[in-house]
A and B are shown apart, each in its own frame.
Chain A
């Protein structure tokens, strides 16, 4: 029994236990990870919200135009025509002084860049709902016209059974 009461052979650094509590707390804080601040630093000018209604009212009044109810497709038609006219005016003012322009002078690139630079608030779904596709030919939406030879080459490369295709066409024509 006397041997059991013997002091252990291990030693601890002098003062270790005195500093233990603060070391433990520090370690606990480190392990809690990063806290995301709740304040994002964005500020607002004093009185901004109080004066907002008045400014909004002014903007609404300056933008107020007489709205005439039109069928939806006409809105897009007129929008397209006014965009084309706007581009012509823009080119006339900025690029080619003294010249007369027609719609035919509009380069595809001019139209595309006008659409790129302006936000019309129309999603592709909204356009798809409005544009009538029945009257469109494949070539209307392709940059280069599709020749019969291209079609034949494509079918030659990609179709396994030519006969099946011919049969379908014949059946439809009968």
Chain B
């Protein structure tokens, strides 16, 4: 596997840029897809946001100083793109973010790319009820199994605060699932 420093150098060099970008996309497209998908929930919206994320990375790689790791920089761009996308969408629909989240979960029932049953729907409803930051932390830790140190670099939050956020989020999801199953 190509070292990150070499990859960045190749991305910033005109002659090697296009090949290095291909490597970058191949390395991160799946991980970023699932990261974005768990925020916007719908596949087509995820596709849009993922493409925009890579386009932003491509256009801004010259200015990347390497002060953070490449993957955390890309995750940050993906997170901002996905949250920004939802914000614009909710404004266009005249909804606040809570109503928007409910609508996204409601739409899953008819989504051809949602393969879950009642339990998964309840799970999505429980996750949607979390505050934004807790939702991000929960998804990144529970489903993507990122380390606290990695999440800390992406969300620019201390590991201690992340642990507290995750613990609270997991308790809320459990309580939500329990309440729905009674």
Q: Which residues of A approach B to under 8 Å, CB–CB?
A: 33-34, 36-45, 48-49, 52-53, 55-56, 59-60, 63, 116-119, 121
Contact = CB atoms under 8 A, between A and B. Distances in A.
A49 B30 contact: yes
A56 B88 contact: no
Interface string B156-182: 000000000000001001100110010
B115 interface: yes
Interface residues of B, number: 45
B120 A49 contact: no
B81 to A, nearest CB: 8
Contact of A41 (B58, B91, B114): B114
A33 B170 CA distance: 12
B25 A36 contact: no
Nearest to A118: B88
Contacts of B38: 40, 42
Nearest to A36: B173
B29 interface: yes
A42 B114 contact: yes
B58 A43 contact: no
Interface in B16-63: 22, 25-26, 29-30, 33-34, 37-38, 41, 43, 47, 50-51, 54-56, 58
15 contacts: A33-B178, A34-B174, A39-B120, A41-B121, A41-B123, A42-B114, A43-B114, A44-B43, A45-B113, A48-B47, A52-B29, A53-B29, A59-B51, A117-B92, A121-B84
A36 B84 contact: no
B116 A39 contact: yes
B87 interface: yes
Contacts of B43: 44-45, 48
A129 B177 CA distance: 45
A119 B87 CA distance: 9
A59 B123 contact: no
B104 to A, nearest CB: 12
Nearest to A121: B84
Contacts of A44: 33, 37, 43, 113
Nearest to A41: B116
A116 B25 contact: no
3 cross-chain pairs, A with B, having the tightest CB-CB distances, nearest first = A41-B116, A41-B120, A43-B115
A37 B116 CA distance: 11
Contacts of B117: 41
A63 B121 CA distance: 38
A42 B116 contact: yes
Interface string B82-98: 00110110011000000
